[in-house]
Structure 1
Amino acid sequence: MSIAVLSASHTPLMRDGVAPEDVRIAVRQGFKDLAKRVQDFQPDLVIQFAPDHFNGFFYELMPAFCVGVNATSVGDWDTKPGPLPVASEDALALARQLIEDGIDVALSYRMEVDHGFVQIWEAMFDTFSSYPTIPIFINCAAPPLPTFKRARLLGEAVGRFALATGKRVLISSSGGLSHDPPTPSISTSPDDVKQRLISGRNPSPEARLAREQRVLQAGARALQGDPAILPVDPEWDREFIAKLQSGQLSDFDALNNDEVRRKAGRGGPEVLAWVAAFAALSVQGQYKADLLYYEAIQGWIAGMAMMFAEPASKSD
């Protein structure tokens, strides 16, 4: 029947990272505005593209894309643990359709997702269980990454599936924008870190706390201008947003992930999820994309953006 898109940044530092109180208030209001758009749209189904941060997916087997038939939140960074309300039959049908469309996706009956999937939903509704969901993981952190062209083609195939369901489908994405958290590289890390990147599932509470402390310290250093952490780049972010709003999504095909990482940080490739989401909407025709909030929040190491988009005919 209809497709809409909700895209929002996430950051592990949203709760405890450094930010002025007026910024915190504005972020909360932005998520309230997003929630109102979702409620007005009244989706029958949510299909979400999001990354992982070596909490559910590891180098022992790292797919470019994975559809979750069942999924569980690991509960990192103050998000709630527990099962997602996955529309399993729809997820299986989607995976089959993607394969037939030439998009090679992995399938998981035991997907584990982290704050990259659930944080924005808890910020909007205090729960990630409001709507039936199909989670789609995109590898945005473990090179080699999928190309922007492949993410666009994945999104278009998902959009065709969504239209064929006859349901009101909200396509969601989370990540970025410019974003340089201290994500380790498997090629340069010591052996113990390499092992965590290869097979670090179910860390001890002490190990998780130590990891979170490292990220919190990185946020404080970023605010002080530590050259080891790229500053949030509002110019890069706004150019990316404007390109999404233009509808010329094939222009993203020329983006190179290595270049994105150099300019927008180690978390910059998370915008692959945004490209996939808007590509899904584009199969319905021209769209209107509203930017509801943007702020370059250095202490959160994140260009925080929130967008909602619907077919252009909805605004006529």
Structure 2
Amino acid sequence: MPAALVGLSHSPLIGKKDPGPEVLARIGAAVDGARAFVRDFDPELVVLYAPDHYNGFFYKEMPPFCLATAANAVGDFGSLSGPLSVDADAAKSLAQGVLDRGIDLTVSARMTVDHGFVQPLEVLFDGIDRVPVVPVFVNGVATPLGPLARIRALGAAVGEAAAALDRRVLFLASGGLSHDPPVPVLDGAPPRVADALIEGHPPTPEQRAKGEQRVVQAGRDYAAGSSTMIPINPGWDNLVLDTFASGSLSEIDDWTVEWMGAEGGGSAHEVRTWIAAYASLAATGPYRVTSRFYEPVPEWIAGFAVTTAHPEGSDR
């Protein structure tokens, strides 16, 4: 099975509070390189690993990961809304293959997704309905969080199951790296906030607009240095990228939830999507990282990275 990988950070603040033109130019060049990589590979199926930000998954039932046989985007932060072009047959085949390999996978027949899923599809494919996709939610926000060995096992099982499809499959990771945005926390939350986090009541347009404006203001404060959020950690971010580049993914099993949060911030666990994607690619054989870009972007409250990879011996 021909396989390839793209890892791409996302941020709801892109286009709303941007860094200076030189930084944007560097990011743009890296993204253009990833787009060219994807065009050259010409995937027949995209397995998209992404987190959620309390738009589709809530504490009423919070799985560690979930595969969708159908998905609809809410359109938060100006991202596209509507149905994703989910390949239901491929999704069902992958789900069965993962379960057959001993991973307790949750399946959704009507997944709600947000900008974490939509942004990479917009960036790389100019839309959410341009390529067959299998969305896989990986929880990176809602505690408690399980060991990273299980995420690596998930990715490996998906990769092995994908090999049986005999299609060109792109494993696409969305999220990370170090960042500490103002995400609500259930423990100690006021009753109204706790109820929203548990039950998932859809916000009114006014409530969504106010919530998004709070995030934009947080980005302004963070960039101005007047925030208590954990700073972006380039050292940790590059350690993560070094680990992916080395192919020594088993080392990730020793990373603890507490260590990741202390080093990378409250939402550093979005890196779990990258772990799953790299484990999927590794399941097809040894791989090589072909491009790597990293830039700390305080305006986006993120260590922003773009990587591409393909199996060893591939001419792509």
TM bracket (short chain)? over 0.9
Q: How far apart are residue 315 of structure 1 and its match?
A: 5.2
CA distance in 2, matches of 1:183, 1:250: 30
- On the 8 A contact 1:33/1:292 being kept in 2, the answer is no
| Greater mean deviation of Cα atoms: 15-24 or 265-274 | 15-24
Cα RMSD between the aligned structures? 1.3
What is the CA–CA distance in structure 2 between the aligned matches of 1:258 and 1:290, rounded to whole Å? Answer: 31
User: How far off its partner does 1:227 sit?
Assistant: 4.8
SS of the residue 1:4 aligns to: strand
2:142 paired residue number:
142
Could you tell me how far 1:124 is from its partner in structure 2? 2.7
Structure 1 residues 36 and 201: alpha-carbon distance in aligned structure 2, compared to 1, 3 A threshold: farther
Render the CA deviation track for 1:100-136: whole Å, top value 9, x for unaligned: 1111111111101101011022123321222100000
* Corresponding residue number in structure 2 for 1:67: 67
Query: Does the residue aligned with 1:165 lie in a helix, a strand or coil?
Result: coil
Q: 1:274: which partner in 2?
A: 274
Aligned to 2:50: 50
Amino acid at match of 1:94: L
> Counterpart in 1 of 2:22?
22
Aligned runs of 1:299-310 on 2, under 5 Å? 299-310=299-310
Counterparts of residues 120-269 of structure 1 (less than 5 Å): 120-269=120-269
Output one character per residue of 1:65-88: Cα deviation in whole Å (capped at 9) or x when no partner. 111000011111111101000010
Q: How far off is 1:51 after superposition?
A: 0.4
SS of residue paired to 1:313: coil
Specify the SS of the correspondent of 2:186. Answer: coil
Return the letter of the residue paired with 1:297. Answer: V
Aligned partners of 1:84 and 1:128 also within 8 Å? yes
**Are the aligned partners of 1:225 and 1:231 in contact in 2 as well (CA < 8 Å)?**
no
How many residues end up aligned between the 2 structures? 316
- Alignment-derived partner of residue 11 in structure 1: 11
Sequence identity of aligned pairs in percent?
40
Q: Whole-Å Cα distance in 1 between the matches of residues 236 and 208 of structure 2? A: 32
The aligned amino acid for 1:279 is A
Cα deviation, residue 30, structure 1:
2.0
Could you list the per-position Cα deviations for residues 249-308 of structure 1 after superposition, in whole angstroms to 9, with x for gaps in the alignment? 010001112221121011100001101100111112211113342110011100110011
Structure 1 counterpart SS, 2:313: helix
Q: How many Å separate the matches in 2 of 1:225 and 1:89? A: 49
Comparing 225-234 with 293-302, which one deviates more in the overlay?
A: 225-234
- Structure 1: gaps spanning 5 or more residues: none
Q: CA deviation at 1:175?
A: 0.6
Q: Deviations over 1:112-170 (max 9, x none)?
A: 11010110221233212221000000111101123210000000001101111111110
Q: The residue matched to 1:296 in structure 2 has which SS?
A: strand
Counterpart contact for 1:55–1:201, Cα < 8 Å: no
- After superposition, the C-alpha distances for 1:6-65 in whole angstroms (9 at most, x for unaligned) are 110001111112411222232223222111101100111111111000001111111111
- Within 5 Å, which residues of 2 pair with 1:73-88? 73-88=73-88
Q: Which runs of 5+ in 2 are unaligned?
A: none
Q: AA paired with 2:116?
A: G
Question: Normalising by the residue count of structure 2, what TM-score does the alignment of the two structures yield?
Answer: 0.97
Q: Distance in 1 between matches of 2:294 and 2:106?
A: 33
Does the aligned pair in 1 maintain the 2:83–2:128 contact within 8 Å? no
Tell me the distance in 2 between the aligned counterparts of 1:75 and 1:121: 13
Within 1, Cα distance between the matches of 2:173 and 2:42? 17
**Counterpart-to-counterpart distance in 2, 1:234 and 1:164:** 38
Amino acid at match of 1:38: V
AA aligned to 1:98 is: V
User: Does the 8 Å CA contact 2:52/2:140 hold for their aligned counterparts?
Assistant: yes
The residue type paired with residue 311 of structure 1 is P
Q: Are the aligned partners of 1:52 and 1:139 in contact in 2 as well (CA < 8 Å)?
A: yes
Question: 1: CA distance between counterparts of 2:138 and 2:115?
Answer: 14
